[in-house]
Structure 1
Amino acid sequence: MTSKNVLIIGANRGIGLNLLKAFLARSWNATASIRPQSRDDPSILKETGAKILEIDYLVEETIQNAAQAYGDNPLDILINVGSLPPHPKPWSEQSSELMVERFRVMAVGPFLAIKHFLPSLEKATEPKVINNSSSFGSISTNSFCTCMAYRTAKAALNQESVTLAREWKKEGRKTTIVCFEPGFLSTRLTNWDGEDDMETSIAGLMKVIESVTSQDSGGFMKWDGTKIPY
């Protein structure tokens, strides 16, 4: 049986790296991305044997170049993992620079990656886009303040995912797109302050990623498959 192809953007540590290892353990052809600035960052990414592309969500040209470098192979799954810290400060301490940076990295960047890799996705039999979101992006479950810039960017990512799901359905495209909440994990992004278990989360995420179908397109769910309201 021909191995399937997955691209994980933001895979040099944390959730991305652990997802990469999980796919490799299942004999997938895995491609991982790092930012050009992280080229010399000490990481075990190279040791995994995955193909490595350089992508910076803030520079569209790097995404275009990566899509060209990927070549003509079908892409079964694109996972947008790259993110930025929540910055848990009151609304009055959220600056325009912080708001714009979070929006560009966590909403615009993933959108551009989807846009430029969609031709490769559409070559696959059952292609999927998996966006790393957060329950902080849910408007209906927002029960406490702080993290304004982070919440706004994740809400935008959720909105664009739903919009793409509906537009693609009208256009007759076969790519499924969903958002997932990985849990509050101990990573550099959370300053190692997570309360959920990485191994448990990754195992659950793999089940969710492998099981979602076109019927789930536009959905938002936790790592264990529980649906999250927008």
Structure 2
Amino acid sequence: MISSSSAVVIGASGGIGAAVAAALRASGRFAVVHALSRSGTGLDLEDEDAVAAAAAGVADGPAPTLVFVATGVLHHGKAPERSFRAMTADHLLRDYRVNTVGPALAAKHFLPLLPRDRPAAFAALSARVGSISDNRLGGWHSYRASKAGLNMILKNLAIELSRTHPLAVVAGLHPGTVATDLSAPFQKGVKPERLFTPAYSAERLLAVLDRLTPTDSGGVFAWDGTRIPG
């Protein structure tokens, strides 16, 4: 039976985002699945006015019980830095705007739409390399730092949201290595069984999210359900 709630997927034109939107539609759990993206609906997470307008549009329908932010940037003309000597302000700020500020603005405008009387979730794609304590190799300065910043934003959101939405969960999700444009230059050497299709990754991430409870809120979890240290 379709519920009276909706789901929102931000970044629904990307590989993982499109697969998440398709899986949510196929599940039949939501009255509406809003598939939002810059290319599809004009939602640019770097434009707060566009984010606010998108949230206002969602607010006209059933309340969302899931907001899934599937945006992110890794290379796109700027290869991850192997050394601190390769760092530039432009690269650092670009990754921070997309990977940290974008999801933060999405939270600012979409979290108020979550119902207070039933379970709900806000999730964003993070990455294992955003873990400070798990960093053994260094490098990838802009990407690592922007994902670490995202993880702190998610922790802050979880603390604040728990005061008004005790049944809600905020979580970062690490999808593993997925066969998308984002990971394309870095798939060499990945074992075939660890290179996931977008559909498989979406299935695993949604299964992990379904198992989380408010006591897990603020954490970052891998595709197999393991918690990633901060």
**TM interval, short-chain normalised:** 0.7 to 0.9
Structure of greater relative contact order (alpha carbons < 8 Å, 6+ residues apart): 2
Letter in 1 for 2:80: P
SS of the residue 1:76 aligns to: strand
Tell me how far apart the structure 1 counterparts of residues 59 and 161 of structure 2 sit (CA, whole Å).
23
User: Which aligned pairs between 1:182-193 and structure 2 lie closer than 5 A?
Assistant: 182-191=175-184, 193=186
Residues 172-212 of structure 1: per-residue CA shift (max 9 Å, x gap): 55431011100011211112643421243222112112221
Tell me how far apart the structure 2 counterparts of residues 143 and 224 of structure 1 sit (CA, whole Å).
21
Deviation at 1:122, TM superposition (A): 2.9
Q: Counterpart in 2 of 1:197?
A: 196
User: Which aligned pairs between 1:129-140 and structure 2 lie closer than 5 A?
Assistant: 129-140=122-133
Deviates more, 1:167-176 or 1:107-116: 167-176
SS of the residue 1:61 aligns to: helix
Q: Percent identity among equivalent residues?
A: 30
Tell me how far apart the structure 2 counterparts of residues 200 and 174 of structure 1 sit (CA, whole Å).
28
The correspondence for 1:75, drawn from 58, 61, 64, is 64
Whether contact under 8 Å (1:57, 1:109) holds in the other structure is yes
User: Which aligned pairs between 1:190-229 and structure 2 lie closer than 5 A?
Assistant: 190-191=183-184, 193-194=186-187, 195=190, 196-198=195-197, 199-229=199-229
Q: Counterpart in 2 of 1:178?
A: 171
Q: Counterpart in 2 of 1:88?
A: 80
- TM superposition score normalised by structure 1: 0.87
Aligned residues: 215
State whether structure 2 residue 143 is matched by structure 1 residue 155. Answer: no
SS of the residue 1:128 aligns to: strand
SS of the residue 2:227 aligns to: coil
State whether structure 2 residue 1 is matched by structure 1 residue 9. Answer: no
CA RMSD in angstroms comes to 1.8
In structure 2, list runs of 5 or more residues that go unmatched. none
Whether contact under 8 Å (1:168, 1:175) holds in the other structure is yes
Letter in 1 for 2:44: D
The correspondence for 1:60, drawn from 30, 34, 48, is 48
Tell me how far apart the structure 2 counterparts of residues 56 and 181 of structure 1 sit (CA, whole Å).
22
Tell me how far apart the structure 1 counterparts of residues 74 and 102 of structure 2 sit (CA, whole Å).
16
Deviation at 1:8, TM superposition (A): 0.8
In structure 1, list runs of 5 or more residues that go unmatched. 40-52
Deviation at 1:171, TM superposition (A): 4.5
Q: Counterpart in 1 of 2:115?
A: 122
